[in-house]
Structure 1
């Protein structure tokens, strides 16, 4: 098992409950140090105290188990608003919010996320026709077509 898989399993053991999940574990070596970045999220969001608890528990377990011999930096946080959605739970958590979806063919689609299935998402988008008022239409996008999705923040 790779170090990344080991860390992912350790993090999953220290999550407070089933509503929390691992988004990403990345390990980058720069110079003599490894930088371990763990992103966790929750169906209702994740608090700073949860990140701190997971960080302490993971750090202790990494030290006790001697999983990493060299010096390392451990960072446990939640994905920021600009972090792309990467799994089904994140999409479901953002139903009702506006998204920007970048497709693999280079197109960009913006709209309100209405629903999520195992295969696709359904957005309410605005379609403009020449000389007419914009009309709202439902647009289904298959996950295979998606390159990147980010949540649009509204300050209205």
Structure 2
């Protein structure tokens, strides 16, 4: 079973659990690190996630995973917050990040660069506009390799 198939199956199992709790499903990862496989579920809510929130979702999801058994290998389940530098994955993540500092990498150079850090001024689902230093960069959404919120120190 492919990682994407497992990720999709887990998203379908966890989404109703997260919705019922009033949380947001940020991301699901299924990765191999060393000899172990990890199923990581990232959740969030206004004001942040605490350990009890993670525990509640973990227990409910664990039961569903035991029942449906979509993952053939042994794995470690982790449910956590995406952290202060949360990844931006979905269009709604970018909309929420407007006005905040972000770090973006692209598949190919835009304005001669592949990494940008600055304030996300605008997002219209086709392009992002980032103010990095004193220059605005218009980055096509389909050229984004990765993006996350960035803490300004």
One of 45, 60, 64 as aligned partner of 1:61: 64
Q: Is residue 88 of structure 2 the alignment partner of residue 85 of structure 1?
A: yes
Q: Is the 8 A contact 2:6 2:30 kept in 1?
A: no
SS of 1:85's equivalent in the other structure is: coil
Structure 1 residue 62, shift from structure 2 partner: 1.6
> Whole-Å Cα distance in 2 between the matches of residues 120 and 77 of structure 1?
30
Determine the C-alpha separation between the residues in 2 that align with 1:59 and 1:102. 34
Q: 1:47: which partner in 2?
A: 49
Number of equivalent positions: 143
Pick closer, same or farther for the CA change 1:5–1:79 going to 2, 3 Å.
Answer: same
Contact 2:26–2:43 under 8 Å retained in 1? yes
Per the alignment, residue 115 of structure 1 pairs with: 122
Greater helix proportion? 2
Query: Partner of 1:118: helix, strand, or coil?
Result: coil
Partner of 2:133, secondary structure, is strand
For structure 1, the residue ranges without an aligned partner over 5 or more in a row are 128-136
Contact 1:8 1:25 in 2 (8 A): no
In the alignment, is residue 99 of structure 1 matched against residue 97 of structure 2?
Answer: no
The gaps in structure 2 that reach 5 residues or longer are none
What's the counterpart of residue 147 of structure 2? Answer: 149
RMSD (CA atoms): 2.7
Q: 1:56 to 1:138 in 2, by over 3 A?
A: same
- Cα distance change on mapping 1:90 and 1:150 into 2, 3 Å: same
Residues 21/45 of structure 1: CA separation in 2 closer, same or farther (3 Å cut): farther
SS of 1:47's equivalent in the other structure is: coil
TM-score by length of 2: 0.74
CA distance in 2, matches of 1:144, 1:90: 15
Question: Does the 8 Å contact 2:30/2:37 carry over to 1?
Answer: no
- Paired with 1:9 and 1:78, the residues of 2 have a C-alpha distance of 19
Normalised TM-score (structure 1): 0.73
